[in-house]
Amino acid sequence: MNLTKRERIIGIAFLAVLVLLVANNWIVSPLYAKYQDALKLALSGEQEVIRTNRLIKRRQSMQAEWRRRKEMGLSKPPSLSEAAMLGFLENWSAKAGLTVMSVRPERQPAEDGLQIIECRAAMTGSMSNFASLCWQLEHANIPLRLENVQLSSSDATRDSLNIQLDISTLCLVNDEESDTER
Q: How far apart are CA 18 and CA 51, in angstroms?
A: 48
pLDDT reported for residue 74: 67
Q: What is the pTM of this model?
A: 0.55
pLDDT reported for residue 36: 92
pLDDT reported for residue 157: 64
Where are the chain's structural domains? 1-72, 76-181
CATH of domain 76-181: 3.30.70.60
Cα separations (Å) of 141 from 40, 44, 67, 172, 175?
44, 38, 12, 16, 26
pLDDT reported for residue 70: 67
pLDDT reported for residue 13: 94
pLDDT reported for residue 79: 84
pLDDT reported for residue 182: 46
Cα 3 → chain centroid: 79
Q: Mean pLDDT of successive 10-residue segments in the chain (182 residues)?
A: 87 92 88 91 90 89 78 72 88 90 90 87 91 88 87 78 90 61 47
Intra-chain end-to-end CA distance of the chain, in Å: 112
